[in-house]
């Protein structure tokens, strides 16, 4: 027996009020896009039914079920899903099918749940539940018990338009909100563990992310840009697009190194990055910047330094990992598939010309004073002529 449908359920909270239709339509669009990306031409339809979204697979989908599931596992906004089997809309057929399905399974307690959206079907939901539940109970020789709350096994029956669906196991999805329902943000992406995980946290709340990476080529190798590109390719699996702005930063760093005290280098690099990122974000209508900072993780991430860096731009800077330990960040990296790429060595533009004793408690006035030695608008304008937009 091969399941030919997928029943997809989403969270309740976001469904309240006026947002409901918008949210559901976006989820359906995203599921279609994901299925087409992972397993092209695998479905006949994706549509809303009462309380769920229903996917009907076609011949291609049935022969490519692992990739179909991969697509669902990479779609944000799905709380849980189950593969379902279509059955003729006839009570005897449904009852026997439920038995065929459940008899293979190992469990102690069970329940039968029915949802009837086709009200022309002659039996009510409760009646179907009772009859099918009783039938299964007897068939098992009364050895399994019915448990309505938290059973080991739930047999679900949906009576929809002109057929019925039966499913057994619910699998957990990624949760969150559908990508595209929360606007756009620009992620400052380095090659480490943190920024891809920060990007995922924002994506998970429905925000479409674009990326900016600062490199010091030719002083650092091309590998750092390639590493970031590989990371974005992984994150792209959770949203349909992958846009990277690759920013040549070596000339600006040279200006800072020549004109300012070495202890302030990292802070001045970071302030400049924020200003460039903000201008890019405004140009492409992103409403926030995102970084992988976590308090105290490295010298540049003390509260004082975060304060001084944030002061360089007026746009909100989201730091979703600010209170997260490195171990937890790495766990998430493993789950989302960025760990193996992040762990490879890379040379970041900021580690180049690293001061011996970087400032850990920057003072805003002192930093503003130091910046007077630089022609910031000119530096930014020069850089903007060389930014490369890469579609991944
Ligand atoms: P990550 O693990 O994300 O690489 P990190 O451990 O290298 O971070 P920092 O170097 O302090 O930590 O960087 C803090 C944040 O600043 C990064 O998470 C990222 O958002 C941003 N950032 C750092 N370097 C770059 C870069 N070269 N290009 C773009 N953003 C950067
Ligand atoms: Mg870090």
pLDDT (mean) for 233-244:
93
CA dist 225 and 112 (Å) reads: 53
Ligand 1, atom 18, residue with closest C-alpha: 292
The pLDDT tens digits for 257-266 are 889 888 889 8
Fold observed for domain 5-172? VC0802-like (3.30.2130)
- Which residues have beta carbons under 5 A from ligand 2 (an ion)? 194, 297
CA dist 370 and 9 (Å) reads: 55
Stated pTM of the model? 0.90
CA 20 to chain centre: 20
Q: What atom in ligand 1 is closest to the CA of residue 197? A: 3
Q: What atom in ligand 1 is closest to the CA of residue 191? A: 4
Question: Which residues have any ligand 1 atom within 6 Å of their CB?
Answer: 188-195, 213-214, 291-293, 298, 300-301, 348-350
Cβ partners under 8 Å of residue 27, min gap 6:
8, 10, 53, 75, 77, 78, 178
Pocket test for ligand 1, best of 188, 225, 245, 247 (most atoms within 8 A of CB): 188
DSSP 132-143: HHHHHHHHTTT-
CA dist 325 and 294 (Å) reads: 8
Residue with tokens 């102690």: 108
Query: Whose CA is closest to 22, among 248, 232, 206, 238?
Result: 206
Averaged confidence pLDDT in the chain: 91
CA dist 7 and 13 (Å) reads: 19
| Residue 290 Rama label (left phi>0; alpha psi -120 to 50; beta) | beta
CA dist 236 and 243 (Å) reads: 9
In this prediction, residue 152 carries a pLDDT of: 92
CA 219, 192, 310, 283 dihedral sign is positive
**86 forms bridges with which residues in the sheet?**
165
Structure token pair of residue 331: 């766990």
Å from CA of 244 to ligand 2 middle: 20
Residue ranges per structural domain of the chain? 5-172, 184-391
Fold observed for domain 184-391? Rossmann fold (3.40.50)
Ligand having the closest approach to the CA of 189: 1
**53 forms bridges with which residues in the sheet?**
8, 48
When pLDDT is cut at 50, 70 and 90, the band that residue 352 belongs to is low
The pLDDT tens digits for 44-100 are 999 988 878 999 999 887 888 999 999 999 999 999 999 999 999 999 999 999 999
């Amino acid at each position: 027996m091969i399941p030919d449908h997928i029943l997809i359920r989403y969270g309740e909270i976001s469904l309240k009020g006026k947002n409901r239709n918008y949210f559901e339509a976006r989820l359906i669009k995203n599921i279609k896009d994901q299925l087409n990306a992972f397993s092209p031409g695998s479905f006949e339809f994706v549509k809303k039914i009462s309380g769920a979204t229903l996917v009907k697979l076609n011949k291609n989908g049935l022969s490519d079920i692992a990739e179909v599931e991969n697509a669902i596992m990479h779609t944000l906004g799905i709380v849980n899903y189950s593969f379902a089997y279509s059955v003729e809309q006839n009570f005897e057929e449904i009852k026997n099918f439920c038995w065929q399905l459940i008899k293979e399974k190992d469990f102690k307690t069970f329940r039968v749940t029915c949802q009837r959206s086709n009200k022309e079907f002659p039996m009510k939901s409760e009646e179907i539940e009772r009859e099918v539940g009783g039938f299964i109970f007897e068939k098992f020789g009364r050895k399994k018990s019915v448990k309505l709350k938290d059973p080991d096994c739930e047999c679900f029956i949906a009576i929809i338009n002109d057929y019925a669906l039966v499913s057994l196991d619910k699998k957990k999805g990624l949760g969150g909100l559908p990508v595209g329902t929360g606007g756009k943000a620009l992620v400052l992406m380095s090659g480490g563990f943190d920024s891809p995980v920060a990007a995922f946290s924002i994506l998970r709340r429905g925000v479409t992310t674009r990326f900016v990476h600062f490199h010091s080529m030719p002083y650092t190798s091309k590998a750092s840009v390639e590493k970031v590109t590989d990371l974005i390719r992984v994150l792209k699996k959770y949203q349909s697009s992958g846009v990277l702005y690759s920013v040549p930063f070596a000339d600006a760093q040279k200006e800072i190194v020549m004109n300012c005290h070495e202890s302030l280098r990292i802070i001045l690099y970071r302030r400049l990055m924020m200003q460039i990122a903000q201008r890019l974000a405004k140009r492409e209508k992103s409403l926030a910047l995102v970084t992988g900072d976590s308090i105290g993780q490295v010298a540049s991430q003390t509260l004082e330094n975060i304060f001084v860096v944030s002061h360089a731009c007026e746009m909100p800077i989201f730091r979703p990992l600010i209170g997260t330990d490195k171990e937890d960040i790495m766990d998430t990296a493993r789950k989302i598939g960025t760990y193996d790429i992040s762990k490879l060595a890379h040379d970041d533009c900021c580690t180049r010309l690293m001061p011996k004793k970087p400032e850990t408690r920057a003072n805003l006035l002192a930093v503003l004073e130091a910046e007077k030695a630089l022609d910031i608008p000119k530096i930014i304008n020069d850089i903007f002529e060389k930014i490369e937009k890469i579609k991944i």
